Chain A
Amino acid sequence: EPEVTQTPSHQVTQMGQEVILRCVPISNHLYFYWYRQILGQKVEFLVSFYNNEISEKSEIFDDQFSVERPDGSNFTLKIRSTKLEDSAMYFCASSTGTGAYEQYFGPGTRLTVT
């Protein structure tokens, strides 16, 4: 069964550095998402992406964050200048439709900012 994959599984970076988290959504999916979960807290929505543009973003998703689908298969989340509070598990998800359609989640990338 097709799965969403994410790389790397764990990323350690220094404060102020740029980091790119990579995701490969399921191939026939059209809608893509990033969520994050700070340790001990809720999973939080960051951004949704459709037709090569952001369709919705949360207050967390400020100018330090950007998303891209560079080559038709990868979906990336870039954090330009990481902060300690960006340390979290980042989940990518994809779906074939909106609303009640299932979002298929990747295994997550654990980002540690030191």
Chain B
Amino acid sequence: AQKITQTQPGMFVQEKEAVTLDCTYDTSDQSYGLFWYKQPSSGEMIFLIYQGSYDEQNATEGRYSLNFQKARKSANLVISASQLGDSAMYFCAMTRGANTDKLIFGTGTRLQVFP
């Protein structure tokens, strides 16, 4: 069965520093997608970044990059130059197969950025 594991319940980082949020996944599928979402206290899930299983280059979106290590089945999110507004819950998620976009989520990591 597919599973997403986020082992860091909480992380602290100082403003302007970089932080890495860990995510490992378990699947026997060859084709899958990996996503990161941010959830502020308001509750809305905000899409950050996507990595396809066949993509050879690590995805980047502005200050967000995804460190994709396929052999280790890890998809860590790197946030560069942290900002106070980055304080939120962060969820790693994956899809499988082709004909569905059903997301399987991890338990999340709460990131707190301090001045």
Indicate whether A and B interact.
no
Interface residues in chain B, defined as those with a beta carbon under 8 Å from any beta carbon in chain A: none
